[in-house]
Structure 1
Amino acid sequence: MYNILVVDDEPLICKGLSSLLASSGLDVGHIYTALSGFEALDCIRMEDIDLLVTDIQMGAMSGIELMQHAKLAKPWVQTIVISAHETFQYAQMAVRLGAKDYLIKPLNSEQFLDSVRNVLLKMGKPSPELATFTPGMGEYFRLEEPLPEYSELLNLLLLDSTSVLSNQSSLEKLDTLGLQGPFFSIIKIKAPLTVDATNKKYSARDGLLLRYAVLNIAKELLDQEWKSIAFYSPDEEISVIIQWDEQSYAETAAGQINRLDILGRSLHFNIHKYLHVNCVVGISQILKGISFMDVLNRQASKAILWNEEHSDYYVFYYGDFNWNNYTADPSAEELHTRSNLIVQKAKEYIEENYTQKGLTIHEVAKKNHVSPNYLSYLFKKNTGFNLWEYVIKLRMEESRELILNTDLRRYEISEKVGYESPEHFSKIFKKYYGISPSDLKK
Structure 2
Amino acid sequence: MFNILVVDDEPLICKGLSSLLASSGLDIEHIYTAHSGFEALDCIRMEEIDLLVTDIQMGTMSGIELMQHAKLAKPWVQTIVISAHETFQYAQMAVRLGAKDYLIKPLNSEQFLDSVRNVLLKMNKPSPELETFMAGIGENFRLEEPLPEYSELLNLLLVNPDSVLTNEADLGKLDDLNLQGPFFSVIKIKAPLLNDLQEIKYNAQDKLLMRYATLNIAKELMDQEWNSIAFYSPEEEITVIIQWDEKSYEESSSGQLNRLDVLGRSLHFNIHKYLHLHAVIGISQILKGLSFMDVLNRQASKAILWNKEHNDHYVFYYGDFNWNNYTADPSVEELHTRSNLIVEKAKEYIDENYAQKGLTIHEVAKKNHVSPNYLSYLFKKNTGFNLWEYVIKLRMEESRELILNTDLRRYEIAERVGYESPEHFSKIFKKYYGISPSELKK
TM bracket, shorter-chain basis = over 0.9
Are the structure 2 counterparts of residues 197 and 347 from structure 1 closer, same or farther at C-alpha, using a change threshold of 3 Å?
closer
| In structure 2, distance between residues paired with 1:102 and 1:291 | 40
2:211 aligns to what?
Answer: 211
The amino acid of 1:360's aligned partner reads T
1:54 aligns to what?
Answer: 54
The alpha-carbon deviation at position 166 of structure 1 amounts to 1.1
Please give the per-residue CA displacement for 1:153-205, whole angstroms capped at 9, x wherever unaligned: 00000011111111111111011000010000000000014878532210110
2:257 aligns to what?
Answer: 257
Counterpart check, 1:199 vs 2:202:
no
Q: Matched residue of 2:199: which SS?
A: coil
The amino acid of 1:294's aligned partner reads D
- Structure 1-normalised TM-score? 0.98
1:11-90 aligned within 5 A: 11-90=11-90
Counterpart check, 1:237 vs 2:232:
no
1:294 aligns to what?
Answer: 294
Q: Matched residue of 2:29: which SS?
A: strand
Please give the per-residue CA displacement for 1:310-358, whole angstroms capped at 9, x wherever unaligned: 0000000000111011111111211111110000000000000001000
| In structure 2, distance between residues paired with 1:257 and 1:91 | 23
1:285 aligns to what?
Answer: 285
Q: Matched residue of 1:3: which SS?
A: strand
The amino acid of 2:434's aligned partner reads G
> CA RMSD of the aligned region, Å?
1.3
The amino acid of 2:124's aligned partner reads G
1:339 aligns to what?
Answer: 339
The alpha-carbon deviation at position 147 of structure 1 amounts to 2.0
Identity %: 86
1:402 aligns to what?
Answer: 402
* Aligned residue pairs, count: 442
Please give the per-residue CA displacement for 1:351-396, whole angstroms capped at 9, x wherever unaligned: 0000100000000000000001110000000000000000000000
Q: Matched residue of 1:48: which SS?
A: coil
The alpha-carbon deviation at position 57 of structure 1 amounts to 0.5
2:438 aligns to what?
Answer: 438
The alpha-carbon deviation at position 149 of structure 1 amounts to 2.3
Counterpart check, 1:376 vs 2:376:
yes
Counterpart check, 1:131 vs 2:128:
no
Are the structure 2 counterparts of residues 188 and 356 from structure 1 closer, same or farther at C-alpha, using a change threshold of 3 Å?
same
Are the structure 2 counterparts of residues 194 and 270 from structure 1 closer, same or farther at C-alpha, using a change threshold of 3 Å?
closer
The alpha-carbon deviation at position 144 of structure 1 amounts to 1.1
Structure 1 window deviating more from structure 2 (198-207 vs 399-408): it is 198-207
- The answer on whether the counterparts of 1:139 and 1:205 sit within 8 Å (CA) in structure 2 is no
Q: Matched residue of 1:29: which SS?
A: strand
| In structure 1, distance between residues paired with 2:207 and 2:104 | 47
1:101-180 aligned within 5 A: 101-132=101-132, 137-180=137-180
| In structure 2, distance between residues paired with 1:114 and 1:139 | 35
| In structure 1, distance between residues paired with 2:307 and 2:197 | 17
1:184 aligns to what?
Answer: 184
Q: Matched residue of 1:140: which SS?
A: coil
The amino acid of 2:405's aligned partner reads N
Q: Matched residue of 1:60: which SS?
A: coil
The amino acid of 2:88's aligned partner reads F
Counterpart check, 1:3 vs 2:3:
yes
| In structure 2, distance between residues paired with 1:358 and 1:223 | 32
| In structure 2, distance between residues paired with 1:210 and 1:132 | 14
Are the structure 2 counterparts of residues 109 and 195 from structure 1 closer, same or farther at C-alpha, using a change threshold of 3 Å?
closer
The amino acid of 1:263's aligned partner reads L
Are the structure 2 counterparts of residues 216 and 9 from structure 1 closer, same or farther at C-alpha, using a change threshold of 3 Å?
same
Q: Matched residue of 1:54: which SS?
A: strand
